[in-house]
Amino acid sequence: MKITNDPVVRIKDIALKAGVSVGTVDRVLHNRGNVSVKKHDKVMKALQEMHYEPNLMARALVSSKKHIIAALVPDAHVDSYWLEPQQGIAKAAKDLKQYGIRVTEYIFDPSDKQSFIDNANALTKNKPDGILVSPIFYHESLAFFEKWKKMNIPFVLFNTQIAEYDPLSYIGQDSYQSGLLAGKLIHYGQHKPCTVLIAHIDEDISNSAHLQKKEKGFRNYFFQNNLDGQFNIISVQLNRANTAAFIKPLDEIIEDHPDLASIFVTTCKAYEVAKYLEQRHIEHPSVIGYDLIPPNLYFLEKGRISFLINQNARAQGYWGIYQLTEHLVFKRKVEEIKYLPLDIVTKENINYFIDKDKPAVLGLP
C-alpha cells in the first residue's frame, strides 16, 4: 500500500504563484467581487495547477447556518421494526449536529394512510431544507414528491425505493434481490415438489411497492431456474387486527396444502407465523422472514424461524441523514442508490449481528 502525504495548499502559496495579494485570493475564493478579470484568471489558474481543494469541513464547522431536516417515519409503537431506523436517525443527528444539522421527526401511523398525509402536509408547510421519508404508502407519497420537487426540497427515501420520481438518494436493500435470495434459500432446503406460501402481513400489497418487488423476485427465482413445475407458489394477505381473520386463512392453507414446505413472510412479522405454527403443534413448514426484532430472534433461536434477512434498519436511518448532510452542508454529489448488504442470519451466527457495538454490522461509518 502506497501512502502519500500531499502538502496543504495555503492561500499565501496561491497568492505567491498567481502574483497577487492574499486579499485578492480570499475575494476570489469567497466570491466577494472587486477583482479584475485578469487577476481572477491568474488566481483560478493557480488554484487548478496547485490542485487546491477548499477545506469544506472546516468551513462547515465555522458556519452559523442551520440546516433543518424533516424525518417522516412510521411510529415504532405501532410496528417495532421502525425503532431501529429511528435510532439510526438519532445517532446521525447527534454526530452531525456540529455541522448545523437539526432533525425534526414527523411520526405517522404505518397502518393509517391519513396519518401519513397529515404529517406530510405539516412537514411541507414548515419548508425544511431536506426530507428523509419512508414512502410505505406508494400512491399517497407520489403527490408529495411532486410538491417537494417544485419547492426544490431534496428528499431521500429509505426502506422503499421509488426511483421514477428522482429522489436525491435511496437507502436500503434491493427488494427484488432480497426476494430472489429468499427463493434460493427455500429451494436449497427442498428436493421434491411442494407448496410454498408467500405471506404479506398487515400490508396492502397493491399500495406497497417494496413488497411487490420482493414477491416478484421470489417468484422469478423459481421461473428463471425452471422450477415452476416443482414448486406450487401461493400467496396470502393477513391482517392481525382481527385474530380470527388472521388464523382462519392459515388454517385453510394448511388443510388444503398438506405438502406446504415453506413460508416466506415479506415483512418483519415472521414471528406471528412461527407463533401460529407452534400453537398448532405444526413442525414441517420452514419460515423465512426479515429483520432482527426481538420476537423474530426468539423464534430464530428456537428453530421455528430458519432464516432472517437483515435489512440493516438502523443503518438506513443513519445514512439517510448522512446523505442529506453531504448534499446540504458539503455540497457533494451523493450516491443515487445506496444498497445495504443482504445479510442471512441463522441461530448459528445470530450473535454476530445483535452486538450493537459493531459498526461494520450496522453499516455505519
pLDDT, one tens digit per residue, over 250-283 is 999 999 999 999 999 999 999 999 999 999 999 8
| Percentage of residues in the chain having pLDDT higher than 90 | 66
Report the SS3 class of residue 118. helix
In this structure, of 94-103, 128-137, 240-249, 338-347, the range with the lowest mean pLDDT score is 240-249
Task: Choose between 172 and 241: higher pLDDT.
Answer: 172
User: Taken in order 129, 130, 136, 137, is the CA torsion positive or negative?
Assistant: positive
When pLDDT is cut at 50, 70 and 90, the band that residue 2 belongs to is: very low
pLDDT recorded at residue 322: 94
Structural domains of the chain, with CATH = 11-54 (1.10.260.40), 67-173+313-340 (3.40.50.2300), 175-310 (3.40.50.2300)
159: alpha, beta or left, given left = phi > 0 and alpha = psi -120 to 50? left
Q: Are 270 and 299 in contact (CB under 8 A)?
A: yes
DSSP state of 230: T
User: What is the pLDDT averaged over residues 152-176?
Assistant: 93
pLDDT recorded at residue 135: 95
Highest mean pLDDT among 14-28, 101-115, 184-198, 203-217: 101-115
Residues 279, 250: Cα–Cα separation, whole Å: 12
Q: Are 287 and 274 in contact (CB under 8 A)?
A: yes
Residues 145, 152: Cα–Cα separation, whole Å: 10
User: What is the pLDDT averaged over residues 89-100?
Assistant: 92
User: CB count, 10 Å around CB of 166?
Assistant: 10
pLDDT digits (tens, 9 = 90+) for 9-26: 778 888 898 899 888 887
Residues 319, 89: Cα–Cα separation, whole Å: 8
Under 8 Å CB-to-CB from 292, ≥6 apart: which residues?
Answer: 308, 310, 345, 353, 354
pLDDT recorded at residue 302: 94
Average pLDDT over all residues of the chain: 88
Would you say residue 53 has pLDDT above 70?
no
Three-class secondary structure assignment of 173-193: CCHHHHHHHHHHHHHHCCCCC
Would you say residue 310 has pLDDT above 50?
yes
Residues 59, 57: Cα–Cα separation, whole Å: 5
Would you say residue 166 has pLDDT above 70?
yes
Report the SS3 class of residue 336. coil
User: What is the pLDDT averaged over residues 208-233?
Assistant: 94
